[in-house]
Structure 1
Amino acid sequence: MKARSTAFGVALATLAIPAAAAGTDGPDKVIQLPSGAELRWLETVHDNSGGSGLTYRFRFLMTDLAKRVPSTTGPASEPGLDGEDSGDRGPIEIDTESGTVEGDDGMIDADQLDMTPVEGDEAAEVEADNMLEEPALPAAPDVLAQDPLHDDVVWLCQNWVLPRVASPAPRPQVIMISIADKDIPFGAYDPEVLQLFEAFRLPADRDECEWEPW
């Protein structure tokens, strides 16, 4: 899940393990992902906030993150999102008594509109009604919640994070992986920093990262 920088509200005291204190896993250690992308580990934070149990938060730095995920900046209703200048649009008024519509191109008489049913309309209407009763769903709806780096992050959790989960220390219930394009302190807010978050559930009976859709 991609998001702009968001401050975490940590209810309990956290234990942060900085990269500089982790020997060979320091900030200069490049982690190569299956897609060819590269990132560096910053720190790991342990906490019990959010009501999900013990959570390990692994924070990473990927300086070219913005190039690998689509931008979501700007409201969806902003004019010209398709790259074209829509220009200033005049008001549209509908006179319900006269049956006319007044817009940029003048007056349109509703009586002049051809409302003759087109062949096939009745069948299309029946099909639409059937879809309302039995809506068609994607074969894998969870795919819609995956970010462009999802496969890389799953690999990162399974192959890099899990071997570094402390043992025999208390076993976490949740693993949170965050990737940012700038190194900022944990919990800090910076609207110019792009961050991506993925959550995984760690089963009690096996070492496997189970992705949790948001």
Structure 2
Amino acid sequence: MRGVEDVRVILLIAKGVAFTGLFAAALLSTYLLLSGLSINDVSKWLFPEQVVFSKEDRLTLAKSQDWSQYPVHRVTATGYTAGEESTGKTPDHPAYGITFSGVKVKRDLYSTIAADTSVFPIGSVLFIPEYGFGVVADTGSKIIGDRIDLYYDTVQDVYTEWGKKKLDVYLIQKGEGTLTEEMLQTLNEEESMQVFRQELMSEKE
């Protein structure tokens, strides 16, 4: 008898779960109908994608601030990837995509970049016109003095979006020699930047 009771309990729970699922689906359908939203809109809200700014977006950001209040440095900037062509590491290497600081390479609102740490210590935040914000997370054997290396996801991005440029960059914050994933995440979730991100997204719609 005990086994029968257990089965009945399981069936009741299953019915409850099924009813709850149907009820939730009905509510969602009603909401979408009344709001005019699509299921894709809801998906984007639940699972937001990483925003990658276009060149025009970065120019807009550059013009939106008074950068003259920050120390300016003249640098030669090149681009690099996590791949073998830049780091000598293949995807199966245990340190693939890991910077000198220990964080993973990232192209985001605040991207990881490489620099001479005697000039820009690890954790330093730079604003690089036409690229965006860069956080010093990495080093390189050829990155000495006034040279910096900007991270891109692909080799094609390096060549089509950057190449090699000599330009002025702005030191927003001098690093203290350390950088963690939490620190990088905090920068990318900065409230003021989210407002700017929303403005950019609304302009694209």
TM-score, structure 1 as length reference: 0.19
Higher relative contact order (CA 8 A, sep 6+): 1
Based on CA coordinates, which of the two structures has the bigger radius of gyration? 1
Q: Indicate the structure with greater helix content.
A: 2
TM-score, structure 2 as length reference: 0.20
